[in-house]
A and B are shown apart, each in its own frame.
Chain A
Amino acid sequence: MLEVKDLQIYYGDAQALWDISIRVRPKEICTLVGANGAGKTTLLKAICGLVPVAAGKISLLGKDVKAVPANERVSLGLSMVPEGRKIFTGMTVEENLKIGAYVNKVWNRKEEFLGKNYDLFPRLKERRNQLGGTLSGGERQMLAIARALMSQPDLLFLDEPSLGLSPKFVDHVMEIVRSINDQGVTILLVEQNINIALGVAQRGYVLESGRIVMHDDAGALLANPHIKEAYLGM
């Protein structure tokens, strides 16, 4: 579904990511974990086209997307729930969702997709006419996810969805991630909290100081001594 090969990414004049190679298989939940500042968000942004790529390949569904401008990647089936949610605080919940369906291929069917999202997120339906700025942190996360789903993506990125949420809510979010995946959406989850990430993903990559240091099945990673020591504090 997604293949990234030997990506080199700079932040200004300094190199931030080296030799990144990642594969995300169709219909799976894959995760990218690492400490704060390791470069996870930068990588996601680069794949989305928000950050320039100095060298390397990115292909989505077998198609090379490096030359495709960021705002056209959505039409190819990619969608992202950004770090910090970035919902439109000046717009209502419903408007936020509608704008998620901006691209041509889904705009005409937006009412239908709106309905589907309201079924998945009843809380949002209750608040459909409220301004985004009035929602709580957890509700904003719901909104951000729902908004990203409006374009009916094949591949969904989630950047640190657990940030700032209560543990109960985090469980709720992960449940939703699972159910989205059940419906056929491939997911790349970026998380600081390794427990959560490996609890829901099948495979994972570990990013440290700008490089991929290991990748394996979730179970194997959880059992890995380095992981246990560095990230799980054991």
Chain B
Amino acid sequence: MFTLPIMIEQAVNGLVLGSMYALVATGLTLIWGTMKMLNFAHGEFYMLGGFGTYFGLMILGLPPWLVVPIAVFLIFIIAFILEKSIISPLMGKPGWDISTVVATLGAGIFLQNFAFKFWGGDFLNVPYMFDGVLRIWGMAFAWHRLYILALTLVVIITFWQIVKRTRFGLALRATAQDNEAAILMGIPFRRIYTITFGLSASLAALAGSALAPIFSVNPWMGMVPLIKALIVVILGGLGSFTGAILGGFILGLCESFSVLFLSSGWKDLISFSLLIIILVIKPSGLFGAKEW
């Protein structure tokens, strides 16, 4: 049962799952690091990514290479508008760390039920973007899953480059590390917030779009990824970009391997227990609540 081929297949599955957790968690940690708030509608951007992909592929019949970028872009716009109209005004007033929770909660509920109204509550199937399976050394890897891995790698590298090398990235890091000093440098922090929020939503949407063929879409599909992403963010250390990515992969691998030992109903127990253990031993997470 625990042969090497099976272990490797599970490892790859774990990395695929993990990469999705990593993307969603990075989005969350991006907002936390820069704006110091938790976005409770984050799962809904993931969900909209999935639904957008469904709509584009199944209803409009467009090819994947067109649907995915357009869907992600549209969700960026939606998030941008949301931030500017609702979150930005709240951030400027006292009690913002609580009012933004309510606002994002409300927005999340709205979006969930919007999806429910227009697409119903059933699980809708989305076709695989890449058919077929790669067979090597007695193991089978679905091409779509490999696409997910590749996509994640590309996104992470791109993201890293943006943060480290561009003027925007520099401004982002400055705003995250010391808001007041950043303002003194002339950085338009409100605009940075809005763009950051949009980027975060895009990451979630991309993950949702990639996973849609595997898990199908439904209006509440964003809730579990949100909880898992929260776990990853804590695991990796709040505000740590590296932590979110590595934490995501670790969680994915843990869940994937635990399926070999436990029935799937109990597998979530592992992730949550792992979380509590980390919190008790090293609350700042594996990489410490860092600044990037």
List chain A positions with a Cβ less than 8 A from chain B: 48-50, 70-75, 79-80, 82, 86-91, 95, 98-100, 102-103, 107, 147-148, 151
Contact = CB atoms under 8 A, between A and B. Distances in A.
B183 A88 contact: no
Majority DSSP secondary structure for residues of B touching A: helix
Given A90-B291, A102-B171, A71 B186 contact: yes
A71 B183 contact: yes
B171 A90 contact: no
- Which of A71, A74, A91: most chain B Cβ within 10 A? A71
Given A90-B291, A91-B173, A95-B170, A102 B178 contact: no
B132 interface: no
Contacts of A86: 178, 180-181, 184
A74 B184 contact: yes
Contacts of B177: 88-91
Contact of A71 (B167, B187, B290): B187
Contacts of A89: 177, 291
B119 to A, nearest CB: 42
A70 B170 contact: no
A82 B183 contact: no
B189 interface: yes
A147 B171 CA distance: 14
B186 A88 contact: no
B180 A74 contact: no
A154 to B, nearest CB: 14
Contact of A50 (B170, B180, B185): B180
Interface residues of B, number: 20
A88 B174 contact: yes
B183 A50 contact: yes
B32 interface: no
A129 B230 CA distance: 33
B186 A74 contact: yes
A102 B185 CA distance: 6
Contacts of B181: 82, 86-88
A148 B177 CA distance: 17
A90 B188 contact: no
A72 B186 CA distance: 6
A186 B184 CA distance: 17
Interface of B: 167, 170-171, 173-174, 177-178, 180-189, 290-292
24 contacts: A48-B184, A50-B180, A71-B183, A71-B187, A71-B188, A72-B188, A74-B184, A74-B185, A74-B186, A88-B178, A89-B291, A90-B173, A90-B177, A90-B290, A90-B292, A99-B171, A99-B174, A99-B182, A102-B174, A103-B185, A107-B167, A147-B185, A148-B184, A151-B186
A165 to B, nearest CB: 19
Given A74-B186, A88-B178, A102 B170 contact: yes
Nearest to B192: A71
Nearest to A73: B186
Contacts of B189: 71
Contacts of B171: 99, 102
A148 B185 CA distance: 8
Given A90-B173, A91-B174, A107-B167, A80 B184 contact: yes
B165 to A, nearest CB: 10
Given A88-B177, A90-B177, A91-B177, A103 B186 contact: yes
Contacts of B167: 102, 107
A73 B177 CA distance: 21
Nearest to B186: A74
Contacts of A82: 180-181, 184
Nearest to B290: A90
B190 to A, nearest CB: 9
A88 B186 CA distance: 15
- Which of A72, A88, A103: most chain B Cβ within 10 A? A88
A48 B181 CA distance: 11
B138 to A, nearest CB: 47
A74 B189 CA distance: 14
Given A90-B290, A90-B291, A90-B292, A98 B170 contact: yes
Contacts of B292: 90
A103 B291 CA distance: 23
Please list the 4 inter-chain residue pairs (A to B) with the smallest Cβ-Cβ separation, ordered nearest first.
A90-B291, A74-B186, A86-B181, A103-B186
A91 B165 CA distance: 12
Contacts of A75: 186
